[in-house]
Amino acid sequence: MSDPAADLLADLTPSQQAAVQHGEGPLLILAGAGSGKTRVITRRVAYLLRQGVRPSSILAITFTNKAAGEMKNRVEQLVPGNRVWVSTFHSLGARLLRQYADRLNIDRNFTIYDVDDRNKLVKEALDALNLDSVKFTPERIAGAISKAKNQLLTPAGYERTANDFFTQTAAKVYHGYEKRLRAANGMDFDDLLYLPAMALKLNEELRADLDARFKYVLIDEYQDTNQAQYEIARRLSIHHPNLCVVGDPDQSIYKWRGSDIKNILDFERDFPAAKVITLEKNYRSTKAILHAASVVIDHNKQRKKKTLVTDNPAGDPVTVLTFDNGLDEAEGVVVRIKDAVRAGKLRYRDHAIFLRINALTRSLESAFVKHGVPFQIVKGLAFFDRKENKDVLAYLRLLVNPNDSVGFFRVVNEPARGIGKVSLDRLAKFAESHDISPLEAAGRVHQVPDIKGKAATGLRDFYRLISDLRAHLGDPPHELIRLVLDKSGYRAALAESKEEDDADRLANIDELVTAAKQFHDEDNARTLSDFLEQIALASDVDGWDENTDHVSVMTMHAAKGLEFPVVYVMAMEQGLLPHERSLAKDEDVEEERRLCFVGMTRAMRELYLTHARLREFRGQALYAVPSMFLEELPPEARHVDVSAFKNVGRTAMDEWRAKSSAAALNAGYAARKPEPVKPGVGPGDGTYSVGQVVQHDEYGIGQIVDVGGLGALRKVRIRFAKAGEKTFVADKVKLKVVTKK
């Protein structure tokens, strides 16, 4: 009798086959970059199904909607008709919270608040405590609360751990924020992990039910899980410990949002019976790219050693391009891409540009426009972030969740209904004092002192509008949006407007209707709540169109899981990559190196790493020091100085240099020969010298520009990126040498 799963194994390596065929018990798959991990996960799910495992017993979790959709499609192709639960962690959390709302004592019609919504509530909590929102910014406080939730700390628990003035203040705000969030029946992104994790931890009956339900749990990108995600995975795998995790410690890049690399490094400690399978064969990159990336990442200590190999051709050497300044860098890269496409070798869509931070895209955008090169900058779903669309979505949120205070205040006077800020402040105080929603308060506006006339009429009308629209909640989402636009007067206000941009806004809301219709047409059982949830949980890459012929520009974080024939990693300079915030701690530098590794291993055929001598950033032109990661490349990497790039005009560069005496001074410093410090002076072995990049505890990253004097009077002059030049006594100052000249 033939094996029903033979076709699933035919084109796999022995290691991949072993992972797919693994039976009961925990499994750790260490999957190197480009090693076919998605293929292995989907084949494993298909293999379990063909072995008779019920689809409802399998839960597959990944980190992006794009990856989840791809996994669903692949499983469906391999085993038609079997619908396995495949989702992101956040989608799983939202679904569990709605499904088990009664058992968790929450309202299943909650609104998922985005970052802006969250920060508004944090600001309200700050104001209620009479705290200075300039000194304690909502963004910073919100970050502290987010970290607390990822560590599964309640407001009281966080308060007990607070050990300085800032965290003690944040703990107080946390209490007020949570009160407002629950009153609004809102959930922030962290709640979608925090609340299910806490429920699984504290509610044994629910935990046992879900553990029995999901007998096989598979988690992709396990190296990027945080404490809450770890808790969910572990609690679902106690009675049925068939937990399969796939990941690569070398690609752990989300510490800044709470991920803990120890989750994958300590998997064998958490699950002593775990089988470990390593996938080391790379199917994506050339030998040259793979070797260069491997040499760089080998400088990290926090990792599990593995040797990536490939049968792909050797390919061209990794190339480092040096430009005079950031403007030349942008133009140089764009022109190189344009020339490659003109030569007929490649398409625009074959090219990707990666940056450490989105703020560096400005000069690139100008260069793309100037040279007529089509491009797409991946910055999230910018379409849904446009004011008019956020307004319409706020109306819809209010229909589903009448307690949504943020949504209420966004649209209660949009379009204008004669309701001023003073009246809204009075309404908010009335609502809070009577423990009711702002919408309900609007319905009782006659009871609110000092709200009269046009404002009172506007609030009553708004209350009636929302009440009437809620009667249509069962309508398809696109039809309900049309009704909202018409009944609210929003469409008419835009149509009658004399503002030039309002015609575009009209087009955008029409496109929103189209998006809702497409959503409904895919599955007519989907509701308005489903539509809002999909938008709320969308990630950066969800807005990326891979089928249009354009150059893709994105951060390296957004590039995770993607691949392109040609990759440019730009602005590889100290303070940018690695980021200036990482330079104080070795573990943070290691994370930046992992990020660099991720960027490099997205390239299939060609990889270019670029940097500039001068970089205009945050309003200043500064001498830029090449990234330490460039120094770690193997000797065969090719270094090309394109300062005299023929297709780039010199006017901008000359103008820039003329304006920046500091930049010109730095150019002079760069030309100096290093002057070594005598032994016994400086950092242990006396190696302070001109050209070194150092880290100071107070002033951050800087470069030594002068060393002089004798003995105890020997001094070191350093130019810092933010603080300018400072002079120190060499044997007194504490410096960490980041790179050698």
Q: Which of 17, 37, 250, 615 is catalytic?
A: 37
Q: Tell me whether residue 585 is one of the annotated catalytic residues.
A: no
Q: At what angle do helices 14-21 and 37-50 cross, to 10 degrees?
A: 40
Name every residue whose Cβ is closer than 8 Å to that of residue 623 and which is 6 or more positions away in sequence: 613, 614, 662, 663, 666, 667, 669, 670, 703, 719
Is the Cβ–Cβ distance between 190 and 412 less than 8 Å? no
Q: Tell me whether residue 70 is one of the annotated catalytic residues.
A: no
List 553's β-bridge partners, or say none: 353, 377
d(CA 229, CA 217): 13
Cis peptide before 477 (omega within 30 of 0): no
CA dihedral 524, 530, 531, 536 (to 10 degrees): -160
As to burial, measured by CB atoms within 10 angstroms (0-12 exposed, 13-18 middle, 19+ buried), residue 131 is middle
Task: Output the CA–CA distances (angstroms, integers) from residue 105 to 108, 182, 185, 208, 415, in the order listed.
Answer: 9, 11, 12, 18, 36
Reduced to 3 states, what is the DSSP secondary structure of residue 445?
helix
| Nearest residue to 613 via CA among 364, 329, 354, 337 | 329
DSSP state of 405: H
CB 194: neighbour CB atoms within 10 A? 25
Q: At what angle do helices 477-488 and 387-400 cross, to 10 degrees?
A: 110
**Token representation of residue 506:** 């009209």
Q: Tell me whether residue 432 is one of the annotated catalytic residues.
A: no
Q: Which of 221, 260, 404, 591 is catalytic?
A: 221
- Residue 431, H or E segment: helix 421-433
Q: Tell me whether residue 514 is one of the annotated catalytic residues.
A: no
Q: Which of 43, 215, 593, 602 is catalytic?
A: 602
Reduced to 3 states, what is the DSSP secondary structure of residue 694?
strand
Cis peptide before 674 (omega within 30 of 0): no
| Nearest residue to 334 via CA among 608, 573, 727 | 608
Q: Tell me whether residue 221 is one of the annotated catalytic residues.
A: yes
Q: Tell me whether residue 251 is one of the annotated catalytic residues.
A: yes
How many helices and strands in the chain, by DSSP H and E? Answer: 32, 23
Name every residue whose Cβ is closer than 8 Å to that of residue 174 and which is 6 or more positions away in sequence: 144, 145, 148, 155, 158, 159
CA dihedral 453, 455, 459, 461 (to 10 degrees): 60
Q: Which of 251, 361, 574, 692 is catalytic?
A: 251
Hey, which residues are catalytic here?
A: 37-38, 220-221, 251, 602
